Amino acid sequence: METNASPTYSSLVAVGDSFTEGMSDLLPDGTYRGWADLLAARMAARTPGFRYANLAVRGKLIGQIVDEQVDVAAAMGADVITLVGGLNDTLRPKCDMGRVRGLLEEAVERLAPACKQLVLMRSPGRQGPVLERFRPRMEELFACVDELAARHDALVIDLYGAASLGDPRMWDVDRLHLTAEGHRRVAEAVWQGLGYEPEDPHWRVPVPVTLPPGWVTRRVADVRFARQHLIPWIGRRLTGRSSGDGRPPKRPELLPYEDLT
């Protein structure tokens, strides 16, 4: 008689930038939760003594991720390591994609032998005009992810190809980070990718269609977005600053999981 046995992973380390830190899944105390915390909670519920670390810091470029997070993660000896990086590089005015690909390869080569399962992702992409100019770079990055995964037996979670996560309603007002519902769906995608029984088999299914907001509402939202998010973001790009400057990792040690909510 066949049984659907759940995988037995006892630890998780998350490596990356704001996407893995959990922006914009905001909790009442002002901290962020995000898909990695949600995934760790599920895994911990199945495995006594489950341990979790999240080294992600918002704004980090792939070079910073390699320099600051990769060796730390590799030394932890976790069962599962997730690596998502490089997208911030593609959004810079100037981006050396050859260098980005090389650094991503370096990260994968260090992390793959250090865990039972390395998880890579094709990051979600919001529909709309803001990111259109960067899509060729993004897709070049994702092609590199696919190639590295095949070479190093890593798991790829295809969020970019999920229609549900392209919906603008899954994105926060800054248009760069997922809402709580978006993060929930990412956690479900990784959960299933790791071999666990689905809790939401329909995470890829788009939310029901609703009437779009009126012209005035959209223009007000555009102005608010530009003032609160776009202009500061451009300013940081032009001055070489990052929203993560001086910020420590979210959960720097591989410790027994505890409810972060």
- CA angle, 88 then 94 then 97, to 5°: 70
Within 10 A of 214 (CB to CB), how many other CB atoms are there?
Answer: 9
The C-alpha atoms of residue 43 and residue 26 are separated, in whole angstroms, by 21
Q: Of the segments 34-48, 161-175, 212-226, which one has the largest average pLDDT value?
A: 34-48
27 found inside a domain: yes
6 found inside a domain: no
Mean pLDDT, range 111-115, rounded to an integer:
98
Q: How confident is the model at residue 2 (pLDDT cuts 50, 70, 90)?
A: very low
4 found inside a domain: no
- CA angle, 125 then 152 then 99, to 5°: 60
Q: What residues contact 120, with CB distance under 8 A and at least 6 apart?
A: 82, 83, 84, 108, 145, 148, 149, 154, 155, 156, 157
188-222 pLDDT per residue, tens: 999 999 999 999 999 999 987 765 666 555 565 55
Per-residue confidence (pLDDT) for residue 236, from 0 to 100: 55
Residue 153, judged by CB atoms within 10 A of its CB (0-12, 13-18, 19+), counts as exposed
| Domains held by the chain: number | 1
257 found inside a domain: no
Pairing of strands 51-54, 11-16: parallel
Give the domain extent around 160. 11-252
Question: Global pTM?
Answer: 0.86
Q: Provide the mean pLDDT of the chain.
A: 88
Percent of the chain with pLDDT over 70: 82
- The single-letter code of the amino acid at 225 is F
Mean pLDDT, range 142-158, rounded to an integer:
98
259 found inside a domain: no
Within 10 A of 101 (CB to CB), how many other CB atoms are there?
Answer: 19
2 found inside a domain: no
Residue 256, judged by CB atoms within 10 A of its CB (0-12, 13-18, 19+), counts as exposed
Per-residue confidence (pLDDT) for residue 3, from 0 to 100: 43
54 found inside a domain: yes
CATH number of the domain that 196 lies in? 3.40.50.1110
Per-residue confidence (pLDDT) for residue 231, from 0 to 100: 57
Per-residue confidence (pLDDT) for residue 207, from 0 to 100: 84
55-78 pLDDT per residue, tens: 999 999 999 999 999 999 999 999
123 found inside a domain: yes
